[in-house]
Structure 1
Amino acid sequence: MEKQQAPSKSWSIYSRSEITSKYEISGRVGSGAYSDVYKARRRSDSVMVALKEVHDYQSAFREIEALETLKNSPNIVVLHEYFWSEDEGAVLVLEYLPTDLAAVVKSAANKDGIISVGEVKRWIDQILRGVDSCHRNSIVHRDLKPSNLLISSDGVLKIADFGQARILIAPQFTGNSHTYNQFDEQLSSDPAPEVDPTVDSSQFIQEHAEQLHREKYILEPVDNMRTNDFTNDIDEESVTHDGAASCVATCTTSDLEDPFQQSCYSYESEVVGIDGNGSLTSCVGTRWFRAPELLYGSTSYGLEIDLWSLGCIFAELFSLEPIFPGNSDIDQLGRIFSILGNLTEEVWPGCVQLPDYKIISFGKVEKPIGLEACLGNRSSDEVLVVKKLLCFDPVSRATAVELLNGKYLNEEPFPVPLSELRIPCKDDEDSSVEWNDYNKDFGSDSDFDEFGSSHLTTTENGFSIRFS
């Protein structure tokens, strides 16, 4: 039986008549540093929805923009409508999806210790289709992880939580077709415009479209020049996902008190991390799934950071445990190097130009563990899929469409039908069981003691920290 929480005065959503008149709120089901998620029933037709109350101005608009751009993608969570209020933040009305990929992995680990090859392939196929939709529309998600891959009761997987997503501009192809150099306009330092509470959200967005344009990335694909805009209202009646077959959901509901969202890598850090030239920030995403270029402070990255995250997710599907569960950014790099070997010019030409490469160094890993050992019970084709994604050089990472068209998904055993997927019910799970330290307190990223001995020296760049 679902646990419900009584309304609190601090939960402003209960006092917003424009929402409560349309939706019967049953309780809060998720919470992060800048948002709260509630389960609700739409009064007009009794369809269950998720109400995501976003307390950060830019994060709300980024999520609205991304979801409107992707609204026809079957593996992206559906945004039905949204509300805007001057003092109470935005409320997004999304599909309600009852579980996520993290629960699938946890259930398999607790029961028979394996997910069948056909099931794994169906999950991977759906994830790749969702990511391909994002990347075809030049959207980098920046926080892909199992708990952001939500699943309906009939097995449809959808990517959610686009609060850290960005739309990129001006692609410059280097190496292969999915590498982009980003150029961003500086975020406006002006305060958020005042909102007349009598004006509806679509009119508000239209009136401030120019300012919102300054706060987003617009990418123009080479084969189809376009500009994404979200000034048009959502046509609620055009949404075809309602109905009895849809157990619809959203947004990191698996972690009521997500330590990642409360860490220095929350959206707040992202805003602070944008420099005077409007560069991207490296403080995005959940650490365990964060690409090496981000860990080394890069602000010139592209869609490839999502591809590294996919490699971590797929490895977890295969092994039923996270492949790089770092306790800090330094520990995260150490775990990556222990498996893949050191990051050098030989494996990634130009890596020495990463902002923190000359500041933080590691002793040589003489005998890396290797992905084969980490995925010892999996086939060579499965290991190869992970290898194609967990490449130090972003240019070398396989794109979603390349993997969709590749050997792994197109040879027997084929992906099983959705009806054959085993889908756990999160409400029935033993909440007392800890899983893979997802809910642990990671502590400060500056805590080097857990990693091992270190040596600090001064350099022409300021200082260098070497870990052994």
Structure 2
Amino acid sequence: MDPPPPPKSKSWSIHTRPEITSKYEILGRVGSGAYSDVYKARRLSDSLIVALKEVHDCQSAFREIEALQTLQHSPNVVVLLEYFWAEDEDAVLVLEYLPSDLGSVIRESKKEWMDGLSVGEIKRWIVQILCGVDACHRNSIVHRDLKPSNLLISADGVLKLADFGQARILLEPGFVAVDDDLQPQYRSTPNQTTVCEPPEGIPKAHNAAQGVHANQEQENLGREEHDSNLDKLRAKDVLDEIDKESDIPDGDVSCLATCTASDIEDPFKSSYSYEAEEGEKDGYGPLTSCVGTRWFRAPELLYGSTNYGVEIDLWSLGCIFAELFRLEPLFPGTSDIDQLGKIFSILGNLSEEVWPDCSELPDYKIISFGKVESPIGLEACMPNRSPDEIYLVKKLLCFHPVSRATAMELLHDKYLSEEPLPVPISELRVPSTRSAQDESSPDEWGDFRHMDSDSDFEEFGSINVTTTDSGFSMRFT
């Protein structure tokens, strides 16, 4: 089969699209990256402030739309109000606008709030995060890029998972939810605008309903036609089958509360980063190990696994919770090798004693480290935290994926039900806006844009490279 013709030139600007500008006043661009631009806008029908996310990559757009529609009634997942798609145009997602994120809460707590975060506040943030992640996993959705900047927060303290551009649904398309009653209803207008029914509390667009009723034959669009529309969106680039959105960094597009694509490292496949051409099929093409932001990436991904599930999100949760307790990242690696080294220095080496099948990881026999005789341990990294708080993190930062506690299990953990109890959402302190880092002077938080190179090995000391029957191996000491 001949490859499809190259796509037509795009303006990549929602300003030129009358179906959007007739419904929304665009107030300005608030985020930009390799695969998306995000604008703050006002809905003309009721003056609701929204975020318009123009996604230039069809695979990323397809995944985000599918995931958000599946999760649209989850109170801790960002709301997709509607989306626009037309032939030879980028998808534009209309999302609720959330002014802050958990990363800003952590930074404000460390630098501005003299008393830091109270235990009750931390517990309430944890509960909200777990509720959002549990909703994903119950619907067989793995987020694959959980981190503080993707946990957006409303002005009144409601935390919501965002940025589902890397998400994967681990069941066949069209059968996302086990219970058909969980499948939302979709409606479409003749110009391919799809309106999603928002959860209670989010105002609906008055003119959206009028547009739908203008064509009764397309009202109450069924599952088959809806899936067909999304398949068209997904098929716009049939050559893109192996997570291409995870191969090019998306810059600082997540620096504003706009539900945007993430800042992804490893823009070019390194000598040891494994990206499978053959992998577990989930209905959307093979999985890839090159997903997520490095500081929150599970060890199996760092070793090249493409046979993984929701457990990679649970590792990310452990890193996020540790950051809430410490007010600084736990594993701030500067490269994938450095990331593994930081993990091992705290938790000890990965071995078949702690994970019997780890030797089957694609890169396990290629990359090895000297034995860490005295790991630092989580206790030393969290010196001012209680045993219950440390144990909560330990339940997630397990090398063996099946040993990681699920979100539902943690929601029933005694830590969250004992005094001091989680504070009411109304008592949470929320920064008025997201606090961007000073790009000219990276501080201890680092600069994500410089985390994309793994070729600078001098920082790891001596490296022993030996040839093997299947190629070579590297040992870091």
TM-score for the superposition, normalised by structure 2: 0.79
Matches within 5 A, 1:91-106: 91-106=92-107
1:140 CA displacement:
0.3
1:273 CA displacement:
4.8
1:419 CA displacement:
1.2
Q: Is the 8 A contact 1:258 1:439 kept in 2?
A: no
In the other structure, the counterpart of 1:176 is: none
In the other structure, the counterpart of 1:456 is: 465
Q: Is the 8 A contact 2:396 2:405 kept in 1?
A: yes
**Cα RMSD between the aligned structures?**
2.9
Matches within 5 A, 1:150-165: 150-165=152-167
In the other structure, the counterpart of 2:84 is: 83
In the other structure, the counterpart of 1:332 is: 339
Structure 2 CA distance for aligned equivalents of residues 271 and 467 of structure 1: 18
Deviates more, 1:131-140 or 1:272-281: 272-281
1:460 CA displacement:
1.6
1:87 CA displacement:
2.4
1:75 CA displacement:
0.1
Cα gap change, 1:341 to 1:237, in 2 (>3 Å):
closer
1:461 CA displacement:
2.1
Structure 1 residue 117 and structure 2 residue 119: aligned?
yes
1:272 CA displacement:
7.2
> For 1:238-289, what per-residue CA distance to the aligned partner results, in whole angstroms no more than 9, with x for missing partners?
5433359xxxxxx8343999993364289xxx99755377431101100000
Cα gap change, 1:456 to 1:374, in 2 (>3 Å):
same
1:429 CA displacement:
7.0
Residue identity in the other structure for 1:122: R
Deviates more, 1:412-421 or 1:424-433: 424-433
Structure 2 CA distance for aligned equivalents of residues 376 and 331 of structure 1: 23
In the other structure, the counterpart of 2:29 is: 28
In the other structure, the counterpart of 1:275 is: 278
Deviates more, 1:305-314 or 1:426-435: 426-435
Residue identity in the other structure for 1:260: D
In the other structure, the counterpart of 1:358 is: 365
Among 244, 263, 267, the alignment partner of 1:264 is 267
Which structure 1 residue ranges, 5 or more long, are not aligned?
Answer: 1-8, 170-183, 185-212, 245-250
Per the alignment, in what secondary structure is the counterpart of residue 468 of structure 2?
coil
Structure 1 CA distance for aligned equivalents of residues 31 and 17 of structure 2: 19
Cα gap change, 1:448 to 1:285, in 2 (>3 Å):
same
Structure 2 CA distance for aligned equivalents of residues 43 and 118 of structure 1: 39
1:53 CA displacement:
0.4
Structure 1 residue 288 and structure 2 residue 291: aligned?
no
Matches within 5 A, 1:305-384: 305-384=312-391
Q: Is the 8 A contact 2:27 2:39 kept in 1?
A: yes
Cα gap change, 1:75 to 1:277, in 2 (>3 Å):
closer
Structure 1 CA distance for aligned equivalents of residues 142 and 302 of structure 2: 17
1:230 CA displacement:
8.3
1:445 CA displacement:
2.0
Q: Is the 8 A contact 2:77 2:162 kept in 1?
A: yes
Structure 2 CA distance for aligned equivalents of residues 429 and 253 of structure 1: 6
Matches within 5 A, 1:58-69: 58-69=59-70
> For 1:284-317, what per-residue CA distance to the aligned partner results, in whole angstroms no more than 9, with x for missing partners?
1000000000000001001100000000000000
Q: Is the 8 A contact 2:27 2:41 kept in 1?
A: yes
Per the alignment, in what secondary structure is the counterpart of residue 318 of structure 1?
helix
Residue identity in the other structure for 1:388: K
Deviates more, 1:252-261 or 1:276-285: 252-261
TM-score for the superposition, normalised by structure 1: 0.80
Q: Is the 8 A contact 2:266 2:290 kept in 1?
A: no
Per the alignment, in what secondary structure is the counterpart of residue 85 of structure 1?
coil
Structure 2 CA distance for aligned equivalents of residues 10 and 113 of structure 1: 49
Per the alignment, in what secondary structure is the counterpart of residue 81 of structure 2?
strand
Among 236, 240, 261, the alignment partner of 2:200 is 240
Q: Is the 8 A contact 1:360 1:464 kept in 2?
A: yes
How many percent of aligned residue pairs carry the same amino acid? 65
In the other structure, the counterpart of 1:191 is: none
Q: Is the 8 A contact 1:52 1:92 kept in 2?
A: yes
1:455 CA displacement:
0.9
Cα gap change, 1:230 to 1:434, in 2 (>3 Å):
farther
Per the alignment, in what secondary structure is the counterpart of residue 285 of structure 1?
coil
Matches within 5 A, 1:293-308: 293-308=300-315
In the other structure, the counterpart of 1:254 is: 256
Structure 2 CA distance for aligned equivalents of residues 152 and 321 of structure 1: 23
* Number of residue pairs the alignment of both structures matches: 404
> For 1:41-62, what per-residue CA distance to the aligned partner results, in whole angstroms no more than 9, with x for missing partners?
0011000000000001111011
Residue identity in the other structure for 1:48: I
Residue identity in the other structure for 2:278: D
Which structure 2 residue ranges, 5 or more long, are not aligned?
Answer: 1-9, 189-193, 205-252
Cα gap change, 1:342 to 1:263, in 2 (>3 Å):
closer
